[in-house]
Structure 1
Amino acid sequence: MPSTDQRQSATFRRAVSPVEWWIAAHPRGAVPVLQVAVEGVGALDPDRLAEAVTAASDACPGTRLARKGREWVDTGRPPAVRLAASGDGTPVHRLPELQEPLLHRGGPTCEVLLVGGASPAVVFRASHAVMDAGGVLLWAADVFRALRGEPLTGATDTVTEVDLLPPLTQKPTPPTMQYPALLGERTPGTPRRTLWLRRSVDGYHAGLIARLATAIAPLCGGDAQFAVPVNLRRYAPQTRSTASLSHSLPFTVPAGQDWEATHERLLTMLAEERDAQARLDPAVLKIPQPLLRFINGALESKAVKQNRYPSHASLAHLGRVDVEEFSTASFTATALYSLSSSPAGGPVELDAVECAGHTELTLSWHDGPGIEEKATALLDLIEEALSPAKLRTPSTLLRPASRTVLPAFAAQCAATPDALAVTGPDGDLTYAELDRRSRVVATALRARGIGREDVVGVLADRTAEAVAAIWGVVRSGAAYLPLDTQHPDTRLAGILTDARAPVCLVQRPHAERAAVPAGCVTVLLDELTGEPPADWAEPATGPGDLAYVIYTSGSTGRPKGVEIEHGALANYVAWATRDLGVDASTRMPLLTSFAFDVSCTTLFLPLLVGGSVLLPRGDLNHATLRALLTEDAPTVLTMTPSLLELICELDVRPSTVRVIGAAGEVLRRSVALQALEMFGPECRVMNLYGPTEATIECLAHTFDPATDTAAGVPIGVPPDNCTAHVLDAQHRFVGPGEVGELYIGGVQLARGYRGRPDLTRTRFVRLADGTRVYRTGDVVRVTDAGVVEFLTRADDQVKVLGNRIEPAEIAQALEDHPTVSRAAVLARSRPGSEHKLLCAYVVGTSPDPAQLQAFVAERLPRYMVPATVTVVAELPRTVNGKIDVRALPDPFAGADEPAADHSGRDEVTRAVAAIWSGTLGVDPDRLADDTDFHQLGGDSLLMLSMVGAVCRDVVGAAAEPLFMARLGEIVREPTIARVAAVARDAASGGAVPAGSIPAQAVPRGETVGA
C-alpha cells in the first residue's frame, strides 16, 4: 500500500468539465451530494474499512480531489471513514450525517459513513461536482475488493464529457421552469433539508424508466415532462473514470400513453443520441464561480417562490448490481440504493437500483409540512403499478411460532399411560413405557453434557427402541439427526462429521459398523436401561431451538443438513393433525426411513393425541404391506406416491384407512384414482407438498376426481402460518395461470443449512417487504381458484422414490475416482418407458463402468448409484455452458440386446421375463437371462413390485412364503434366471436353504422414500 508521502506526491489531475463547473458553483453548503448506501448483515471493522478506503483511493484517485482553478488535483488524502449513529434503530436514510455538505469551504469531496447496529451499512458520499452515481459505484466496488483482499480494478481515466461527446451541432436551449413540483410547494426561507423515502419492490422490471414515467404521468395534469439522467460512459464502455459523466435527457410522456410506447420512444431517443446534444453549454466554463454561484442561488429562490421546475421529476436508473460484489467474509450485503440530493432548481428525484431480486426505489425532495405523506402516497402508487398488491399479498395470516411439541407429549403420556403408543414386531410400548424409555435416553445424554443446540445422531432400524431414542433426544433439549442404516458407512461418517454431532445413539446390530467418526461418542441404545431420575424435569425448550437436522443431497457435491426448529415443527403438527384427521383412534404406520422427513408425521402426530404408531412386521415388501393393511387396521397412511402405487397393486380392500397422505414426489391422477378404488370412496387422498427446508409439508390438497382432471394432482394451498408465492425469472409476482418458481414462506421455514451460510443465503432469500422465503426450484402455476399446480423443476434436481437427488453430488463422487477427470449425471428414460434412470457420463483414463458403480455404491445410497455409466471423450456443452444432452450417446443403445437363444426358456422363465418387461419397460425378447435387474434401471421399489408380481402371477399364494423366504438370494443375484429358479423351487414346494436370507441382503423400506 502506498505511503502517505507517496500519496501526497500523487500527480493525478484532470480538467473540470462544464457540468462540474456548474455544480461546484452552487450556493455554499448546497452542492448536491451523491450517496450510495450498502446495507447488509454481519459486521465491518472500522479500521479494516479505513485501510480498504485508502487502498481504493489509490486505485481511484478521483475520490481525493481539490479544485485549483479549472482543474481537479489529487490531494493524496484518502476519504475519511466516519462512524455514524448505530444501535438506535434509525434507518440509514434518516441519519443526520446525510444532510451534511461536502466540498464546503475547502472540505473534502468524498467520505465514507459506517453505520453499525443490527442492520449495518456503508454509505459512500461524493460531491456531485467531482463524481456521478456511476463513479461512486466504481469506487465502492473497489473498496469491497480491497476488503476481500482481491486485486483492485481502479478508475484512473481523466476523460470528461467534453472528451466523450461529439461537438454540439447547435447551441443548447436553456431549460424552461414551467412544471409544478409533484409533492407540493416548498416554503420560502426554510433551511435546506432533504427528505428521502425508500421502497423495495419485488422483481426486475423491463422498461423500468418508462414504467415509472407512465405511473407518475396521470398526476401531472396533461403531458408529463421528465429528466432522465444518462450515463455517458455508454459512448466509451471501456472508460474507467469516477468523473461526473451523466447528463439529463428531457423526455415528454403524452397523457394516456402506455409504458410500452413510452419505452420505445425513450430507446429511439437514445439510439439517435439525443442525450449527446441535450447538455450544458460549454460556455458555462467562462462564467466566474462567484457569478455562477449567484445565478444558481437566484434560480433556486425563483423555483421555490414560483413552484416551477424544469420537469415534473427526474427519473434515474443506476442499473443492476450484484450484492455479492459488495460483501465480505463478515458482511453480507442485502441491498444497495441511492440517496441523492437535488441541484439548484431541481425537481423531485426518483432513483432506482436493481439488486438481490428487488428494485430499490428512493424518492428525494426538500422536506416540509405534508411532504412525507405525499411522497409515501406516490411510492404506493408506483409500487402498485410495478407489483400489484393482489399478487403479493399472502392468503394466510402469519403468526410467530410460540410453542413446542414437548408439553403436549408429556401431557399425553400422563393422560393415557396405559394406551398403546407403539406397536411392532419387537414389542409394544404403552405411553408410560415410551415416556420412561425416552426419559432414560434423555437422562443419559444430559449426563454427557448434551443439551440445547447439540445434535445427536440416531443410527437404528425401524423399531420401538428407535422411536423412544428419537423422543429421548428431543426431551434432552438437543436435536436429533436420523441416519439411514442402509446408507454406506462413508456417507454416514461424513454426515456426523459435518453436523458436528458429539454423540451418536446406535442400535446393537449396527454397533460394529465404521460409521461413527472420531470425535463422536457411540452410545449403545440397548445399554440405556433403568429408571429416569425422580426429579426429572422437561427441558426449557423454546420455539427457536433446534429440533432436528435432516440431510439431503447437495448440488455442491456433498449432502447438506437442514436445521428445523421447534416452532416450525409445532406449527406443522398443529395443522396436519387437524387436516389428516389424527386423533386418539389413529393407527399410523411408519412406512419411510427415519432419514426421510415424512417419517416425522408418524413420529409426532399420533403420539401427541393418544394415537398409535404401527411398525411393519419386517422389511417392506408386498407380503408385509398386505399384512399391515389387512391385519393391523391402520387408519392414516403417509407415504411416497411410488409406494402408494405399489400398494395399489396388492389384491386387498382395506376397510379401516380413512386418510392417505402422499408426499415426496409427483402424485399422478391415475395413482390417486387407484387409491380411491382400493380404499373406497370414503377414504380421502391428500397430496402433501413440502421440501425438507419447509418442515415436512407446507401445501396440501384433497384429491377430487371430478375437478382434478390433469395428469398430476395439484399440490394445493398453504395451511396455517405458511405462504406460497410464484415469481418469474425476474423475481416478479405472477398472476393466476402464469408460470413461475414457487417460493414458500411462513413459520415452518428451516433455520438454514448447518454450517453453510453461503448456501443458506442462496436458497433462503427475502422478498422486498422483508419476508423470508425459500426458493424451491419447482416450476408451478396457480389456478384461478388459488390452487398451486406443479409443472417441472427449474434445475437439474430429480426425485427417485421420493428421495431428492442432486446429480452434482453423484458426479462429484465419480470424479473422486482416480480414473475419472470429469463426470456428469443426468436423469434419462429408456425408450418406451416413463421411468427415469440416473445415467452417468465420464471422461478419464480407461475408467471401468462396473468399478465406478461399485465405487459410488461405497459412498452414496443405493438410489444414487447410476443405472448406467458411459465413457465419453468429452462432455459436450451448449453455448450457455450446460451439458448438451442431445450430443451425448444413448446409454441404452445395445444395452439390452437379445440373448443368443430364448428357445430353451421354460414357462416359468418366460413368465418372469414378461414381468420384468412390464416392470422395467423393456421388450422381453431383448432380456437376457443373466441380465442384472439394477443394470436395467431397477431400483428397490421396482424390485418389490417385480417380486410381488412374481408371487401373484407365477408362484401363487400357497407357495408365496417359500418364495419370500429366499428373497435374499434374489437381492444378491437379481437376474431372470435366479428369480425363475427360486420361483420354480417355491412352486414345487422346495426346501429353504439354510442361511439363505441374511438380514442385510433383504430390500428394506428405508430405500423407499428415504
Structure 2
Amino acid sequence: MTADVRDAVTAPADTGYRRAVSATDWWFVAHPRRIPPVIQTVVEGTGTVDVAALTAAVAAAGAANPGSRLRRQGQWWVDSGRAPGVRVIDGCTGPIADVAALHDPLPTPDGAWCEVLWCPGDRPALVFRASHAVMDGRGKAMWIADVFRALRGEPLAGATGTVTDGDVFDRLGITNAESKPDVWFPSPLGRPGRGRRTVWARRTVDGYHPALTAKVAAALRDAYGLDTARFAVAFDLRRHAPETRTTGNLLQTELFDLEAGEPWEALHERLLAAMAQRREVTWRLDPNLLKMPVPALRTLIRFMESGRKDRHASATVLSHLGRADLAEHSTATFEARTTYLLPLLAAVSAPEVNTVECGGRTELTLTWRDGPGVKERMEAVLDAVASSLAPPAPRPAVVDAAPGWTVVDRFAEVVAAHPDAVALRWPGGSMTFAELDARSDVVAARLAAGGVGRGAVVGLLADRSMWTIAGLWGVLKAGAAYLPLDAGHPDARIAALLADAGAAVCLVRAADAARTPAGCTTVVLDDLPADGANPVAVKPSGGDLAYVIYTSGSTGAPKGVEIEHRALANYADWAGRVFAVDEDTHFALFTSPAFDLPNTALFLSTLAGGTLVLVPGEPSHVTLRHLLEESGANALKLTPSHLDLIGRLDVAPAGFRLLVVGGEPLRPAVAARAKAQFGSGTRLFNHYGPTEATVGCVVHAHHAGRYDTATVPIGRPAANCAVHVLDADRRPVAECGTGELHIGGAQLARGYRGRPDLTSERFVRLADGTRVYRTGDLARVLPSGEIECLGRADDQVKIAGHRVEPAEVAAALEAHPEVQRAVVVARPAPAGAGKVLCAYVAAYPGTDLEELRAFLAGSLPRYLLPASLHRVDAFPQTPNGKIDLSALPAPFAGAATLNEDADDVRDAVAKVWAKVLDVDPGRIDGGTDFHQLGGDSVLLLAMLAGVCDEVVGAAGEAAFMAELGRIIRRPTLDGVSAVARETLQTTDEGAP
C-alpha cells in the first residue's frame, strides 16, 4: 500500500503532523526499557549555553522539526506539540561517556522520545538523545542544526517530511523481507557480561579519509584477525526521496564480506557499484511485524536477546554520518570543537562503529556491551583502526614553557639596568632609556585618566619617530593594546579600522590631529610633557592583548589580528636568542610600524638594551643609502624585495652584523648577492611567519654554498612553536610531500577581532586537540628536516611584503557607483619579478578609469592599488556561470593567447566536474583527484552520470561504466578522461 492510499484510508482525524509507524519503528518501539535503542549525538566545545535560551531554542526547533516531539497513536506518529525536555547534568568533570544519564532509557517517564542534555564543566557538551523509534542519525542532524540556528537567531530549515523507509522500499520495488543469515558471527570483541551495559571507545584521527567506510572495514578485519569479515553497512535512503526532509528512520543496512588479504579498494568498489545500480539495499524488515502487538514483540525481543547471547548477523555495523560543519554547531557563547555519536545498542545488534568528519578530523566511536576484557579489546581494536587511517607520525614537540614575563616587565628591567644608554636615535637627535620610560609613563597616565585600561584598544597613527615609540610603550604600560595605523593611508581607511577595532582613543602627531573620525578621542603626542607622571598601577598579564594589526581580508574587508602578551614575549625571547641580539645590536626601523614586520626591530633592540635607529621618510634608494652607509644601524629586518633593491643599488653597506629577511619568498640568488654585498661577517636569516603567528615563528640561517631549492628554506620552528604540513584532507604528508603549512604553539594569535566565524575557520584543532593556524601556504619538509615554502594554496598574494586578498580590492571597486562588478587577480609582473594586482571592472561605457583609480586611492593603501585596470562590457563565464579568469584580457598585452593544444574530451569532462563540484574549471588539472575538490561518494556518482550524459553518450554508457573499478582506483581528471576517450573510440558516438 502506498503512502498516499494509506493516508486516505487509515489516517487519523488529526490535522497536524503525522507519520506512519514503519516496521523499523515498530521494532524499536517494542524494545524493553533495559535495552533502550537510543542514538546520542555529542557536541563538545568551549564556553557556555544559557539554559533558558537553550530551552527556547529546543522548543522552536521542535516546532520546525515535529519528528522531535512525537507521541504514538496506535501505528501513527503524531505531533504532541510538546518540546523535548532539557536536562542540566552537573558535576561533569571527566569524559562525557562517563555521564550516567547517557544510559537512561527513552521515552522518558512523561512520554518524550527525544531530549537534550547540557553538561557544563571542564568539557562542556550538549548531548542530543533520540529513540531510534522516531529518528536515525542523519535525521537527527537536521533537528540539531535547527536547535543551533535558533540559538543564533537564524531562520530554521525545518524537516516536516512524512516519508518512511517502507515508502522508499515500495518505490524501489523491494519486497523481500529479512531472512535468516547464513552465518552467525560471535562478537570479535568478546562475549557480553551478564549486565550487558553499553560501553564506548573513541578515537580522533587527523584529516578526512575518502572511502572511509571501506578503509575502516579493512582495518577492523585485520584487527579482528578474521579470514572473512562480514559488515553491515548503513546506507541513507534519503537519496531516493530527494523531495522530502524528514527526521525519521531512513537508514538501512546491507551485508558485505571482506576476505583476508582483500584490499579496501575492492570493498569500496562494491559499495559504489551497488549505489550506482541502486541496489545498495536489497531487503526490508518484514512489514508483517506491524501485525504483532507490542507486548508480543517485546517478548520476542527478550527471547532473542536471551537465546542468542553472542550470535550476530555481522561482525560489526558500520555507519558513516557524513561531514559536520562545527560553525553550524556553535553560538556566540559556545564554540563547538567536535561532534561524535555514543549510541545505545539495539537488541541482537553486533558491535557498532560510527564515524563523523568535522573540523578537519575524523571521529570514530566503537560501541559494544561490557564484559570481561571487552573494554581493553575495544581500545586495542580502535587503536589499530586509527593507525591504519593515519599512521602515527612524529608530532613536533613543544617542550619549553613560554616566558613568564611580558615585554613591559622586560622593558622595566632594561630601564633600571641601562637608564643612560641610548634607546632611540634619529637624524639630529637621540633619547635615553630613562627618557623613553618617562615619556611613555606620561602617555600611560593620560590614557588611564581617560578610562583606558586592560582590554581596550588604542589607535596609534604611526610614523617612524620617537613620538610613536613613546606612544606604543605608553599604551602597553596602561594595560591596553595598540592598533598601529599608517599615516600614509587614506583617512577613510584609518576611520574604518578604528571603528572596526572599537578604538575610542587615538594617539596622533600634531600634523595629523584632524584626521581621526568624530567620536574617537584624539590625544596629540606632541602636546604631552616629557616627564612628570607616576607609573600607572597596571601590570599586563600574558593573556592580555598587546596589539591588533589589520591584514587584507578575503571577504572584502580587512581583518584585525589580536596578539596577546604571552605570544609577543615568546617571540621576543626566542628571536633575541636566535639572532644573538645584545646591547650592541642597533636595529633600524625604516618600514611602516602599521605592520608586524618591523616588530623585530621595535622590540628586540630595546629589550636587549640596544639602540633602535629611526629612519624617517618613505623607503627609497635615498633613505636606503642613508640607512646603509650613515645611520649607524647594524641590524635590519626587511623584505626580499627590499634586499633585491639594495643589491641593485650602488651602495656600500657599512658595519652590518645581522640581516633578517621575511614577508616574501627569498630566492637563493638574492640572498647570495646580499651576503657578498654586506660582507661575510653579516649573518643572514630567512624569517617566516604570518601575522597570526606573531611576527615570525620559523627561521633558517643562510649558509654558504649551493641551494637546490627554488627559494631559500624557511627553516625550523621557534621555541614553543610547531609546524605541521598537512594535505587537503588535513592529514600529515610524507617527507618531501606538499601540503598546507599549519602553525601551532605559544605564538598563535587569539583570533580575529570581532570575527568568530573567520577565527574558527582559520584557527582549527588537530586530532589531539592542538590548536593550529591554517596559513594557506604550501610547503614541504626537506630531508634535512627544514621546511621549504612553495607558495599559496589560495588567491592570496604577497605584494611588497604585504599580504593581499584580491577580494578586498574588488569590494572597494564595487563601491563605486559606475561599477557593476569587479574582479581582481594576481598576474606575473611585466618584468617577470613577482606578481602584481590586475583589476577588471564591468562598468558603464565612458567610465573614467583614472577617476576610478583616484577613487580607490581614497580608500585603500598604496600596496592594494592594482597595477592595471581594465573596463569590460561583460565578464566571460564558464559553463557553470562563474567568471572565466583565463578568458580575461591579458593585462599587459593586446589579447590573451589561446591554448592550441586543447583536449576536447578532457575539457568536456572538466566541465562536468566543475558543474558537479561547483568549482572553477581553472582549478582542475590533469592530476587533480576528484575527492580533493570536495567530492564524496554520492557526488562521484553524479559526476559519472554527467560524463555518461554529456561526454560518452547513451551508446557508450555501458562500456564506460564497465570500467567503474578503474575509475574508482584513479579518480583524477586524466584518469576519467582516459576512460571516456577509450569509450568514444569504440563507439559511433564521436567526440563530444
Tell me the TM-score normalized by structure 2: 0.84
1:451-500, Cα deviation, whole Å (9 max, x unpaired) = 21222222242122322221222122221221211111221122122222
Distance in 2 of aligned mates of 1:118 and 1:541 = 26
Cα 1:592–1:106, aligned 2, differ >3 Å: closer, same or farther?
closer
Q: CA deviation at 1:369?
A: 5.1
Superposed displacement of residue 570, structure 1 = 0.4
Unaligned runs of 5+ in 1: 1-6, 896-1010
**Equivalents in 1 of 2:588, 2:53: separation in Å?**
58
Alignment deviations for residues 497-534 of structure 1 (CA, whole Å, 9 cap, x no partner): 222222222122323xx42112222222122224344x
Question: Which of these two proteins has the greater Rg computed from alpha carbons?
Answer: 1
1:713-724 to 2 correspondences below 5 Å: 713-724=712-723
Aligned position for 2:379? 376
- Counterpart of 1:201? 205
Structure 1 residues 894 and 888: alpha-carbon distance in aligned structure 2, compared to 1, 3 A threshold: closer
C-alpha distance in structure 2 between counterparts of 1:595 and 1:520, whole Å: 19
Comparing 8-17 with 360-369, greater Cα deviation is found at 8-17
> Could you tell me which residue of structure 2 aligns to residue 246 of structure 1?
251
Q: Give the number of aligned pairs.
A: 880
In structure 1, what is the Cα distance between the partners aligned to 2:327 and 2:316?
32
Distance change in 2, residues 1:205/1:880 (3 Å): farther
Question: What letter matches 1:201 in structure 2?
Answer: V
Q: Name the residue aligned to 1:187.
A: 193
Matched residue SS, 2:860: coil
Contact 2:168 / 2:240 at 8 angstroms: preserved in 1? Answer: no
> 1:881 & 1:735 partners in 2: Cα distance?
37
Given candidates 493, 496, 504, the residue that maps to 2:495 is: 493
2:316 is equivalent to residue 313 of structure 1 = yes
The match for 1:456 is: 458
**2:886 corresponds to which letter in structure 1?**
R
Residue in structure 1 matched with residue 364 of structure 2 by the alignment? 361
Structure 1 pair 651/21, CA: closer, same or farther in 2 (3 Å)?
Answer: same
Specify the code of the residue in structure 1 equivalent to 2:435.
E
Pairing of 1:598-747 with structure 2 (within 5 A): 598-616=597-615, 618-654=617-653, 656-706=655-705, 708-747=707-746
Q: In 2, are the aligned partners of 1:61 and 1:156 still within 8 Å (CA)?
A: no
Q: Matched residues in 2 for 1:588 and 1:733: separation?
A: 38
Are 2:214 and 1:210 equivalent residues in the alignment? yes
Distance change >3 Å, CA 81–CA 419, structure 1 → 2: same
Q: 1:175 aligns with which of 170, 181, 187?
A: 181
Cα deviation per residue 1:401-458 (whole Å; 9 max; x = unaligned)?
6321122211111112222221111411122222222222222222222221222222
Cα 1:502/1:832, change in 2 over 3 Å: closer
Q: What is the Cα deviation at residue 242 of structure 1?
A: 2.8
Is 1:503 matched up with 2:505?
Answer: yes
The aligned counterpart of 1:864 is 864
The 3 A distance-change label for structure 1 pair 488 and 55 is closer
Deviation at 1:577, TM superposition (A): 0.6
Provide the rounded CA distance (Å) in 1 between the counterparts of 2:660 and 2:470: 24
**Contact 1:460–1:510 (8 Å) recurs in 2:** no
Identity %: 49
The whole-number CA distance in structure 1 between the counterparts of 2:183 and 2:110 is 31
Alignment correspondent of 1:847: 847
Contact 2:339-2:358 at 8 Å conserved across structures: yes
Counterpart check, 1:562 vs 2:561: yes
Q: Return the match for 2:93 from 89, 92, 95.
A: 89
Deviations 1:548-567 (A, max 9, x none): 11111222222222111110
Distance 1:329 1:106 in 2: 32
Q: Secondary structure at the match of 1:365?
A: strand
Shift of the alpha carbon at 1:758? 2.1
What's the CA shift string for 1:210-266, capped at 9, x where partnerless?
Answer: 111111112323222221122222333333333322222122211122222231233
Whether 1:523 aligns to 2:526 is no
Specify whether residues 869 and 138 from structure 1 end up closer, same or farther in structure 2 by C-alpha distance, changes over 3 A only: same
- 1:483 corresponds to which of 485, 491, 515: 485
Mapping for residues 228-307 of structure 1, pairs under 5 Å: 228-304=233-309, 307=310
- Which residue identity does 1:524 align to in structure 2? V
Q: Distance in 2 between matches of 1:863 and 1:717?
A: 30
For residue 936 of structure 1, what is the aligned residue in structure 2? none
Tell me the amino acid that sits aligned with residue 128 of structure 1. Answer: H
Q: Provide the rounded CA distance (Å) in 1 between the counterparts of 2:33 and 2:463.
A: 79
Q: Which amino acid letter does the alignment assign opposite residue 212 of structure 1?
A: V
**Contact persistence 1:164–1:236 (CA under 8 A):** no
Letter in 1 for 2:888: L
Aligned equivalents of 2:834, 2:173: Cα separation in 1: 68
2:104 pairs, out of 100, 103, 107, with 100
Deviations 1:177-205 (A, max 9, x none): 743323323222x2x43223333222211
CA distance in 1, matches of 2:339, 2:466: 54
- Residues 857-912 of structure 1, C-alpha deviation per residue, up to 9 Å, x if partnerless? 111112222222211112334356654222112233369xxxxxxxxxxxxxxxxx
Deviation, structure 1 residue 363: 1.8
The DSSP-based 3-state class of the residue aligned with 1:242 is: coil
User: SS where residue 162 of structure 2 aligns?
Assistant: coil
| 1:918-955, Cα deviation, whole Å (9 max, x unpaired) | xxxxxxxxxxxxxxxxxxxxxxxxxxxxxxxxxxxxxx
RMSD value over aligned CA atoms?
2.6
CA distance in 2, matches of 1:430, 1:322: 54
Instruction: Please tell me whether the aligned partners of residues 63 and 78 of structure 1 are also in contact (alpha carbons under 8 angstroms).
Output: no
Q: 1:691 offset after TM fit, Å?
A: 0.9
Amino acid at match of 1:836: K
Compared CA separation, residues 492 and 35, structure 1 to 2 (3 A): same
Alignment of 1:756-835 (within 5 A): 756-831=755-830, 833-835=832-834
- On the 8 A contact 2:411/2:607 being kept in 1, the answer is yes
Distance 1:128 1:203, change over 3 A: same
Question: Which residues of 2 match residues 119-138 of structure 1 at below 5 A?
Answer: 119-138=123-142
Aligned-partner residue type, residue 21 of structure 1: W
Which of 142, 145, 152 is 1:141 aligned to? 145
Q: Which residue of 2 aligns with 1:154?
A: 159
Any conservation in 1 of the 2:635–2:656 contact (CA below 8 Å)? yes
Distance 1:380 1:460, change over 3 A: same
Deviation at 1:689, TM superposition (A): 0.7
Whether contact under 8 Å (1:426, 1:464) holds in the other structure is: no
1:168, distance to aligned residue in structure 2 (A): 5.0
- Give the deviation of 1:400 after TM superposition: 5.1
Amino acid at match of 1:34: I
- Judged with a 3 Å threshold, the aligned counterparts in structure 2 of structure 1 residues 146 and 593 are, in CA distance, closer, same or farther, namely closer
Moved more, 290-299 or 159-168: 159-168
| TM-score normalized by the length of structure 1 | 0.83
Tell me by how many angstroms 1:161 deviates.
2.5
3-state SS of 1:217 partner? helix
Q: Structure 2 CA distance, aligned partners of 1:169 and 1:159? A: 15
Q: Measure how far apart 1:19 and its partner are.
A: 2.5
Amino acid at match of 1:357: G
Indicate the residue corresponding to 1:473 in structure 2. 475
Over residues 23-69 of structure 1, what are the superposed CA-to-partner deviations in whole Å (9 max), with x where a residue is unaligned? 33323432311122333445444444444434444443333334444
Distance in 1 of aligned mates of 2:550 and 2:335 = 25
Question: Do 1:40 and 1:334's aligned partners in 2 also have CA atoms closer than 8 Å?
Answer: yes
The answer to whether the 8 A contact 1:64-1:76 is kept is yes
Evaluate the alpha carbon distance shift between residue 261 and residue 621 of structure 1 in structure 2; reply closer, same or farther with a 3 A threshold. Answer: same
The secondary structure found in structure 2 opposite 1:276 is: coil
Counterpart of 1:584 in 2: which secondary structure?
A: coil
